[in-house]
Structure 1
């Protein structure tokens, strides 16, 4: 029987990671794979990173997707610039989950729009058509008179025939009500009582 080579416990006993967050486990795996490929680094369980994490009860160890705050980059209306730190040792699924959690956290700001952005229609263009109907009705037009007064817009007016003009008003009003609530949240997040300047000041 050949003589067994010495093998430290840190090389193979990863039970210390059983209660670690999955982000740290992903990093440990990538670290150890890279060692197999010749990184020349010590075992992960002997690394300074592991010691810092374990000494702190694994709090704040490894990350995935971490927001570092807003950037100073000029943005268009409805846009914000953010800086992120990405931990590329994490698998795609983990990064997507964490970014999804970050997006969920933005719902309180009122900026996050559910799909579709303005109510029940599956396509945003459908809601825009319903807004067209509401505006035409408010100016006294019916489907027939709109077609007569705006013959050059015949194709678009005909597309409005597929929509119930009675329910269109209710759906647009519901969408506007939801948006008003969103704008109140946006004002709270901006620390301002003027959402117009906050959203459109850079337009």
Structure 2
């Protein structure tokens, strides 16, 4: 079992969860829905430790935890071991069909009665292409926010500073933004990169 592997620590799992949370998606503000398949064995305590750790680093990154398990494995009287303190909506589902109330079948694998054709190798290849692009956009966004903040702070001091100096500083910041390699690349190649990622 992967739960017993040397790499499977709470810290490593939390890092993986936070990485998944950072991936761009339409409903990013809602947090992740985590489906735990515990039909054959109870969920490992390290999983819930990782979820709590991820929530503490990025509050709201986990929206819902769905525990798919037989009633005999986890009964309502016993509660859901390890879930206490997560601060998220948690549901025990005794049947696979119940997942449909929470997750669209297009987002579930065939093992969970879904239609999502997940292949880990293909996902890794896709992520290796996606991550540099999103990281580049993140750095460009940080530069823009920094320049905007500096412009605002300069404007508030404009009454006591030389106007010509303020105008020159504005020009310098604008030139810095326009010549930034991350932004230049996003402007020139961003559309093509997105088109390739959509096809894949």
TM-score if structure 1 supplies the norm length?
A: 0.33
Higher RCO (C-alpha 8 Å, min separation 6): 1
TM-score if structure 2 supplies the norm length?
A: 0.33
Bigger Rg, structure 1 or 2: 1
